[in-house]
């Protein structure tokens, strides 16, 4: 799992952080950096201080799943990625990264015993846009070499996106 050391430190220090419940803690390597009132504030500070290094931003609450980020984070990307209704932290990380590529309308994710399957749904995307998606896929494969990821780019050509991949979970939609 990505950021194991950071999440373990957060878990270990949770009782000390309880007074700041609802706020966001920034963790890098073996250090609790600081606590912030907003997720965006913690993310901006993490990107400013650590740049391309991995770090964890976690809302301080008992028994809440981590909100992972890493050098793959793109602070300029905005979408409707929701912690409440879209799968595991790893699926959200992959979907959020792929969703930032120009032309991606939706990212669907499913997992089976063999691999994590990722479909980036586009509509009439030009060839250079497809190459941009392939470059993002390569970055994810390099970042997570131990995880078998099966990528697909699906050009819906004006067909409804919901009908394209039966059984896959929509993790991002614009």
Report the distance separating Cα 174 and Cα 172, nearest Å: 7
Q: So what's the pLDDT on residue 173?
A: 64
Please report the pLDDT score of residue 34 as a whole number: 96
Q: What confidence tens digit (pLDDT) does each residue in 153-174 have? A: 988 888 776 666 666 656 656 6
Cα end-to-end distance, the chain, whole Å = 28
State the pLDDT at residue 165.
63
Does 124 score more than 50 pLDDT? yes
- Domain range list for the chain: 4-69, 89-173
- The more confident residue out of 99 and 45 is 45
Domain 89-173 class, CATH top level: alpha beta
Q: Phi and psi (nearest 5°) for 141?
A: -65, -40
Inter-helix orientation angle 89-99/127-143, to 10°: 150
- The span from the CA of 69 to the CA of 159, in Å, is 33
pTM reported for the whole predicted model: 0.50
- Per-residue pLDDT band at 109 (split at 50, 70, 90): confident
Q: Highest mean pLDDT range out of 8-17, 23-32, 119-128, 132-141?
A: 23-32
């Amino acid at each position: 799992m990505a950021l194991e050391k950071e999440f373990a430190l957060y878990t270990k220090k949770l009782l000390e952080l309880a007074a700041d419940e609802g706020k966001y803690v920034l963790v890098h390597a073996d250090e609790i950096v600081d606590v912030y009132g907003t997720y965006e504030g913690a993310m901006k500070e993490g990107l400013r201080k650590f740049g391309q290094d991995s770090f964890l931003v976690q809302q301080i609450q008992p028994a809440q799943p981590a909100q992972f980020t890493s050098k793959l984070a793109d602070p300029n990307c905005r979408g409707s990625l929701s912690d409440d209704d879209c799968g595991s932290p790893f699926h959200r990380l992959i979907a959020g990264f792929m969703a930032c590529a120009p032309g991606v309308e939706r990212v669907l994710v499913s997992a089976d015993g063999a691999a994590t399957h990722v479909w980036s749904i586009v509509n009439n995307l030009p060839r250079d846009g497809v190459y941009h998606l392939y470059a993002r896929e390569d970055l994810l494969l390099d970042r997570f070499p131990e995880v078998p990821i099966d990528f697909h780019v699906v050009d819906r050509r004006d067909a409804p996106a919901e009908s394209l991949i039966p059984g896959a979970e929509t993790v991002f939609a614009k």
